[in-house]
Amino acid sequence: MFTPARAQADVQRIVELYRRAGRFAAQVTPQVRELDQNRVDLIFEVDEGPVTGVRDVNFIGNEEFSDRRLRDVIVTTESSWWNIFQSNDNYDPDRVEYDREQLRQFYSNRGYADFRVVSAVAELTPDQRDFFITFTVDEGLRYEFGDIRVSTELNRLSESLLLAAIPIREGTVFRGELIEDAIDAMTYVAGTVGYANVDITPVVERDRDNRVVNITFEVNEGPRVFIERIDVVGNTRTLDRVIRREMRVNEGDAFNRVLLDRSRQRIQALGFFNEVTVDDSEGSQPDRSVVTVTVEEQSTGELAFAAGYSSSESFLFDVSVTERNLRGRGQFLRLRASSSQQRQQLDLRFTEPRFMGREVAAGFDLYSLRTDYRDQSSFENQSTGIGLRAGFPVAERTNLGLTYSLVQDDTQIADLFVDHDSNILTPAINQCDPLNPARSSLCDQEGTFLTSLIGVTINWDQRNQPIRATRGFDLQLSQDIAGLGGDLNYLRTEIEGGVYYGLWGGFRASFRGTAGFVAGWGGDDVRINDRFFKGGQSFRGFDVAGIGPRQIVVNTTTGELETAGDAIGGNAYAIGSLNLDVPLPLPDSFGLGAALFADFGTLGVVDAASRETVVLDADSSLIVDDSTSLRAAAGVSVFWDSPFGPVQFDFAQPLAYEDFDRREEFRFSTRTNF
């Protein structure tokens, strides 16, 4: 039914739409064309007019902060002819209201608890092309935090426990956002001790005479709510049970926000989904809640062909077939073949995350690996083996892993002692000649050996997220024992951990440390291919196998170094790495990242038989230097997600080293995570 009043109301809605787009001079005229059979055509004739900009933004009443500083806080910007990409330089009443809230938050987080925006006036210029916007503010006094108290009568939730979680300290400048942070922190703590729903009310008292803000947090238990139903949405390929088994709550359990957040992290950690959200809504009754888990599937299968160049391994060739979610059941399968100057590898890996329906991950590995370290060390090795794995959780964030490996190694020791600084055989030493009276003890390690290895690993992960963590830590302790069958007897222990901390502006600080020790037992020494070799990516600033025990020729009289030869590995190491991720002011499409780093540590200790001195002639002797002196380096890493795959550039400056170490100030390699 047409009525002039309804048509005029439509005109007002159209005019309002144009005003929100910055066209305040727009005019809309309705026209009615009568037709037969009691019908009309309704025509809105629109004159849009020019876009109305913002000529100037002014502030009245501000003394602590300048107009220029406050203009950076609000969203509305002044119009300028050179910036054609601006979209916030026209007058929008809703945007001005948002600016009022931005100003309030800005002042509140800098101690001005009484701040208020008295008025925000927009005046149209006579030519109707621009607006003058004026904010009148009352800054008030600057406060500090005073007494912070907690009031609660909950049995399992002490006031001291809640106070320890509050990120507010008496005497610091008042910041309004810290009140919300305190409520979130106390809610989390309450959830960890069984209170899924708590009602936290901050009572704020301003003491204007002393310019302090006293806050009392009143904590009461909220209504008890149970989970009526859990819905899983968006899994077009992954089976429901694969997702549900990662949930830390079940249907019928009490609603617990902490456990739901942990469930989301576990589902995200599967690596099957681009995004995971866990929401709750009202159920069929007031004390019932419906939890909806929404996932967005991502590709989990990969057929990869790769070729590249690394400063450590020269040309690289790699082909692999990987499926991380086989048949939607969460199973992992990979077949890979790779080749480089140092490594030729063929392996098959399979993992079932829920073996026989239990919370046990089990799998096996078949592999053949050939390593050639003759350019860095004294040997080349061919390993062929099979491994069995099993892992299960012993606590919410702690896992225990068991492994068994049966490996056959064929090791060949280099015949000639080489001066790597000049690549000249000076002196030319056929060290493994049986007739050589100065035959090196390393030559006794040549041959084929069978290793039967049992291992145990404990992993404790307290990171807030498995990829690019910004809070928390992780720790892993592993121990392997060889000798229950096979030809070799040794015990190897390694520990690795990291601490992560997210900073403002996208910066992230982290520290990772690793240490290990291996020793023979039953009268056996540690063979060269079972020792630790560090350098390259494991210790930036030094070449692969660039640090640690090394064969060197010294002058018998002066003790000075004449020739640095092959690295022979060490039985003990300890390495730490400090990293600071630095965001670059570039679009994400560039795929560039950077980090500052500092690596420090040591590698040393070999068995007595490998440290024997060999007299070469009257003036020189062949010795092994296995001192555990400190090495250190610092530099910059640049990451690039190139079209050919992720790569990493390391620019390092060695700071502490031995003369016989092989230093490396630049490295180009495939990228690895800190």
Query: 545-586, pLDDT tens digit by residue?
Result: 889 998 888 888 787 888 887 788 899 999 999 999 998 888
83 has a pLDDT exceeding 70 = no
Pairing mode of beta strands 490-502, 561-567: unpaired
Q: Token pair for residue 89?
A: 């330089």
Lowest mean pLDDT among 33-42, 123-132, 214-223: 123-132
Q: How many CB atoms lie within 10 A of CB 126?
A: 5
Q: Can you give the pLDDT at residue 489?
A: 93
- 149 and 105 in one domain? no
- 310 domain-assigned: no
Residue 442 in any domain: the answer is: yes
Residue 24 predicted with pLDDT over 80: no
Least confident among 181-190, 381-390, 490-499:
181-190
Task: In whole angstroms, give the CA distance from residue 541 to residue 599.
Answer: 8
Q: What CATH number should be reported for the domain holding residue 633?
A: 2.40.160.50
pLDDT at 426: 45
Average pLDDT, the chain: 85
pLDDT at position 420 is: 46
Q: 186, 221, 256 — which closes off a domain?
A: 221
pLDDT of 431 reads 59
pLDDT: which is higher, 249 or 130: 249
Residue 304 lies in a domain: no
Domain end position, chosen among 267, 297, 327: 297
Alpha helices in 201-352 (DSSP H): 240-244, 257-269
Across 77-91, 125-139, 488-502, least confident range:
77-91
| pLDDT for 353 beyond 70 | yes
Q: What is the pLDDT of residue 632?
A: 96
- 38 and 65 housed in the same domain: no
For residue 70, what is the domain's CATH number?
Answer: 3.10.20.310
The pLDDT score that the predictor gives to residue 450 is: 93
Q: How far is CA 610 from CA 149, 437, 527, 605, in A?
A: 66, 16, 10, 10
Q: Is it the case that residue 41 has pLDDT exceeding 90?
A: yes
Please provide the DSSP assignment of 28-87 as one string. EEEEEEEETTTEEEEEEEEE--PPPEEEEEEEES--SS-HHHHHTTSS-----TT-TT-S
- 411 with 462, same domain: the answer is yes
Q: How far apart are CA 558 and CA 579, in angstroms?
A: 41
Residues of the chain above pLDDT 90, percent: 39
**Which one-letter amino acid corresponds to residue 85?**
F
What is the mean predicted confidence (pLDDT) over 508-512?
95
| Structure confidence at residue 438 (pLDDT) | 44
Domains in the chain, number: 5
| Residue of 250, 278, 252, 255 lying closest to 266 (CA atoms) | 278
Mean pLDDT, residues 259-272: 87
Of the candidates 448, 449, 375, the residue with the CA atom closest to the CA atom of residue 416: 375
More confident residue, 546 or 599: 599
Q: Is the pLDDT of residue 602 over 50?
A: yes
Handedness of CA 234, 240, 242, 247 (dihedral sign): positive
Instruction: Answer yes or no: is 353 within a domain.
Output: no
- Is the distance from CB of 152 to CB of 163 less than 8 angstroms? no
Residues 214 and 232 reside in one and the same domain: no
In a domain, 367, yes or no: no
Residue 356 lies inside a defined structural domain of this protein? no
DSSP H/E element including 439: none
- How confident is the model at residue 86, as a pLDDT? 58
How much of the chain, in percent, has pLDDT values that exceed 70? 90
Top mean-pLDDT range of 91-95, 162-166, 454-458, 657-661: 454-458
Q: Is the pLDDT of residue 354 over 50?
A: yes
SS3 590: helix
Residues 6+ apart with CB under 8 A from 203: 215, 216, 217, 218
C-alpha–C-alpha distance, residues 183 and 189, integer Å: 10
The verdict on 450 and 560 lying in the same domain is yes
Specify the pLDDT at position 425. Answer: 42
In this structure, of 523-532, 598-607, 614-623, the range with the lowest mean pLDDT score is 614-623
- Does residue 537 share a domain with residue 593? yes
Shared domain for 474 and 450, answered yes or no, is yes
Q: Are 152 and 255 members of one domain? A: no
- Within this chain, do residues 125 and 82 fall inside the same structural domain, yes or no? yes
Can you tell me the distance from the alpha carbon of 546 to that of 553, in angstroms, rounded to the nearest whole number? 17
DSSP sequence for 270-324? TS-EEEEEEEEEE-SSTTEEEEEEEEEE---EEEEEEEEEETTTEEEEEEEEEEE
Domain that holds residue 73: 53-138
Residue 423 has pLDDT above 60, yes or no: no
Q: If you average pLDDT over residues 500-526, what whole number do you get? A: 92
Are 384 and 509 in a shared domain?
yes
Q: How far apart are the first and last CA of the chain?
A: 69
**Co-location of 437 and 554 in the same domain:** yes
Q: DSSP letter at 665?
A: S
pLDDT interval class at 418 (50, 70, 90): very low
Asked if residue 334 is part of any domain, the answer here is: no
Residue 97 dihedral angles phi and psi, to the nearest 5°:
-65, -40
Calculate mean pLDDT across residues 236-250.
90
Average pLDDT over residues 297-304: 80
Contact between residue 206 and residue 114 where contact means Cβ atoms under 8 Å apart? yes
Q: Do residues 472 and 615 both lie within one domain?
A: yes
What torsion, rounded to 10 degrees, do the Cα atoms 136, 141, 143, 149 define?
-90
Sign, Cα dihedral of 259, 260, 264, 266: positive
- Mean pLDDT within 225-253: 90
Identify the weakest region by mean pLDDT among 46-50, 55-59, 161-165, 418-422: 418-422
Report, as an integer, the average pLDDT of 647-655. Answer: 89
pLDDT confidence bin for 591, thresholds 50/70/90: confident
**618 backbone φψ class: left, alpha, beta (φ>0; ψ -120 to 50):** alpha
pLDDT band at residue 494 under the 50/70/90 scheme: very high
Q: Is residue 410 part of a domain?
A: yes
Question: Final residue of a domain: which of 98, 115, 138?
Answer: 138
Cα–Cα distance between 601 and 577 in angstroms, integer? 9
Rounded CA separation 538/668 (Å): 14
Would the pLDDT of 307 be above 70? no
- Max mean pLDDT among 198-207, 247-256, 367-376, 630-639 falls in 630-639
Give the per-residue pLDDT at 580.
95
